[in-house]
Amino acid sequence: MNKKLLTALLAFTLLFSMGISATARLSHNSGSQMQTGLTPNQDTVSADQCSTPDKQAVAIAWANEDTGVLHLNISVHQYAKGDCVEFKLVNADIENDGSYADHDFDFKASLNPALSSDFHQEFNRNSTVKHIFFQMPNVDATLTLICGVPGHRAAGMENTLTVGSGSSASLSSQPAQQSHVTPNQDTVSADQCSTPDMKVVAIAWANEDTGALHLNVSHHQYSKGDCVQFQLVNADIENDGSYADHDFDFKASLNPALSSDFHQEFFRNSSVKSVFFMMPNSDATLTLICGVPGHRAAGMQNTLTVGAGAQMSSSSMSSSNTGSGTDTGNSPGFTIVIAITALSALAAVPTLRRKWNN
């Protein structure tokens, strides 16, 4: 084989390997456009199917910006046959520019044989809670609830509701663990900064089936010294329309990297509260909790990583929203395969040269 031709072939192999890696990363990052600036769904919304609720439930749309996974959480999963359910739709997917992503609330007849027609509603693209009424079928059924915006179901916005089969819980029998909590009277902390490097959504909500409480955040990784604007969304709505009491606490006793406590409280209404917190200037793992007595034990705790490879900044926030939980382009295994291919090509050069000289 001509030496020039073989050298060109080896060079092509190396460049091709590097190109695959770059293309995969580009493809991964380009997925961030999935839910940013979407055109609102123009489908006709369904009329309420009933008016006097037997049960109330909260539905929450939000995004994990670290992974790009989208969520459609429901506070109640079990229903009696024929229940009239008042769903309270909370859109907690807030973009960096303050706008709200487009999300649907869909029971598709094609996915639910127990239903004779589709039921379609849309989350408000603001902080206002939307109240809709849906009639559960009169037969035992497992219903699939999805977000019908293209790509959102595949990105994680799907949930399963059970009708009948022992689902006899009523409003009066739902867990009362967090009902009518006395508001926390602690003094709230002042904002620690004013120009955010990152914007993050924090959501307080409850699983009424299990009594578990949740404190979700849209980002878990931060750079050292980041000024973070946390947007607090209270999605824990009581049956009487009031909001449960929840705190947003970084306790110095749980976080050695902090010199003092940082305490804020979620609004007890649908308004979004913005608070500004300065991440420490050292590598740290921070524990975020709800300080209301019993709430941390019930599940309201989350872990945030500062530094240690957390290089995300405000300029790269949009690229973190991939719309998929799969990160093929940045996986260690994928990178190792590319490296081995490239090194193998380079290692072959001396051997081939000896053969040529012989």
Percent of the residues in the chain that have a pLDDT greater than 90, as a whole number = 67
Quote the domain boundaries for residue 273: 181-320
Range with the poorest average pLDDT among 4-8, 324-328, 341-345? 324-328
In the chain, the percentage of residues whose pLDDT exceeds 70 is: 68
Token pair of 352, please? Answer: 């081939």
End-to-end CA distance of the chain: 13
What is the per-residue pLDDT for 163?
A: 95
Q: What is the pLDDT of residues 76-94, one digit of tens each?
A: 999 999 999 999 999 999 9
> What's the predicted TM-score (pTM) here?
0.72
Amino acid at 343: L
Q: Quick one: average pLDDT of 228-246? A: 96
Q: Are 194 and 303 found together in one domain?
A: yes
Question: 214 pLDDT exceeds 50?
Answer: yes
Q: What is the pLDDT of residue 8?
A: 59
- Shared domain for 316 and 186, answered yes or no, is yes
Rounded to whole angstroms, how far apart are CA atoms 71 and 92?
A: 10
Total domains in the chain come to 3
So what's the pLDDT on residue 129? 97
For residue 3, count CB atoms less than 10 angstroms from its CB and return exposed for 0-12, middle for 13-18, buried for 19 or more. Answer: exposed
Check whether residue 165 and residue 188 sit in a common domain.
no
**Residues 24-38 pLDDT 10s:** 333 333 333 334 334
Q: What is the mean pLDDT of the chain?
A: 79
- Please give the pLDDT value at position 43: 72
Boundary of a domain, candidates 173, 198, 222: 173
Whether the pLDDT of residue 306 is over 50: the answer is: yes
Residue 46 is assigned to a structural domain of this protein = no
Nearest to 136 by CA among 170, 93, 104, 92: 170
| Lowest mean pLDDT segment, chosen from 3-7, 24-28, 269-273 | 24-28
Per-residue pLDDT averaged across 299-318, rounded?
66
The whole-angstrom separation of Cα 97 and Cα 329 is: 28
Q: What is the CA radius of gyration of the chain?
A: 25
Last residue of a domain, one of 154, 173, 192: 173
Q: What is the pLDDT of residue 87?
A: 98
Residue 185 has pLDDT above 70, yes or no: no
Question: Is the same domain home to 248 and 282?
Answer: yes
Banded pLDDT at 12 (limits 50, 70, 90): low
Residue 327 scores a pLDDT above 60: no
126-144 in b/e burial notation, b at 16+ Cβ within 10 A?
ebebbebbbebbeeebebe
Q: Which candidate, 144, 72, 134, 69, places its Cα nearest to that of 103?
A: 72
Beta bridge partners of 303: 287
